[in-house]
Amino acid sequence: MTQDSTGTIRTAPTPDEELGALRRELRALTDHREISELVARLGRWLDGRCLGDADALFTPEAVAVTPGGTDEGRTRLVEQAQQHHAHYHRLQHSMAHLLVEQDGDRASGQANLTAVFVENDPPAVRVLAGDYRFGFVRTADGWRFSRIEIRPTWMSTASQVVLIPQPAGA
List phi, psi (to 5°) of 140: -60, -25
Domain that holds residue 34: 16-158
In a domain, 163, yes or no: no
In a domain, 164, yes or no: no
In a domain, 6, yes or no: no
CATH of the domain at 40: 3.10.450.50
Q: What is the pTM of this model?
A: 0.84
In a domain, 169, yes or no: no
In a domain, 39, yes or no: yes
The predicted model gives 114-124 an average pLDDT of 87
Long-range contacts of range 123-131, CB-CB < 8 Å, 24 or more positions apart? 123/159, 123/160, 123/161, 124/157, 124/158, 124/159, 124/161, 125/157, 125/158, 125/161, 126/155, 126/156, 126/157, 127/155, 127/156, 127/157, 128/67, 128/152, 128/154, 128/155, 129/153, 129/154, 129/155, 130/154
The predicted model gives 50-78 an average pLDDT of 94
- Quick one: pLDDT band at residue 170, thresholds 50, 70, 90? low
- Quick one: pLDDT band at residue 33, thresholds 50, 70, 90? very high
In a domain, 2, yes or no: no
The predicted model gives 113-119 an average pLDDT of 94
Q: State how many domains the chain has.
A: 1
Minimal CA–CA distance to 36: which of 84, 102, 104? Answer: 102
In a domain, 4, yes or no: no
